[in-house]
Amino acid sequence: MDDLPGQNDVEQLEVWCAGEEWCPVTTTASLIGKKWHPVIIHRLLEHGPSGFNELQENVDGISSKVLSDSLDDLEENRLVEREIISEKPFRVHYSLTHYGESLQPVIYAMRDWGMEYLTEPEDDVSA
């Protein structure tokens, strides 16, 4: 298999794998397979660096605790970075790292698939 462009130029992430043999699909799923991770990455792709409150508004339905835990996990896995903007008042911005940005084709493929094959639920109050 040919090397991907730039593949040897970038340090690769070393992550956990469930099976005895390393599987790139399992490993990638372990990074972005949690419920909110792809949504957070998508919103950062679409809106760029965001503060916590702005990100929470853009990720409809997520609690502060879950967003905080998800951002910590994404930061630990080097997909998102946190930058302190000011100490008083305390403000931070979250942005995608090179690894997070490199997920754009994956996240956009998920979005495009959903647009083609899924429909929004109808608001049926009689159900």
- Of 7 and 92, more confident: 92
Instruction: Name 93's bridge partners.
Output: 51, 83
Using one digit for the tens of pLDDT, what is the confidence trace for 36-66?
999 999 999 999 999 999 999 999 999 999 9
Whether 54 is covered by a domain: the verdict is: yes
57 within some domain = yes
How many domains does the chain divide into?
1
Q: Is residue 53 part of a domain?
A: yes
41, exposed or middle or buried, with CB in 10 Å at 0-12, 13-18, 19+? Answer: buried
CATH number, domain with residue 77: 1.10.10.10
Global pTM reads: 0.80
Residue 7 has pLDDT above 60, yes or no: no
Domain, as residue range, for 83: 36-114
Work out the angle between the directed axes of helices 64-76 and 37-47 (0-180°, nearest 10): 80
Average pLDDT, integer, range 111-122: 91
* 13 within a domain of the structure (yes/no): no
Q: Does residue 60 sit within a domain? A: yes
Whether pLDDT at 32 is above 80 = yes
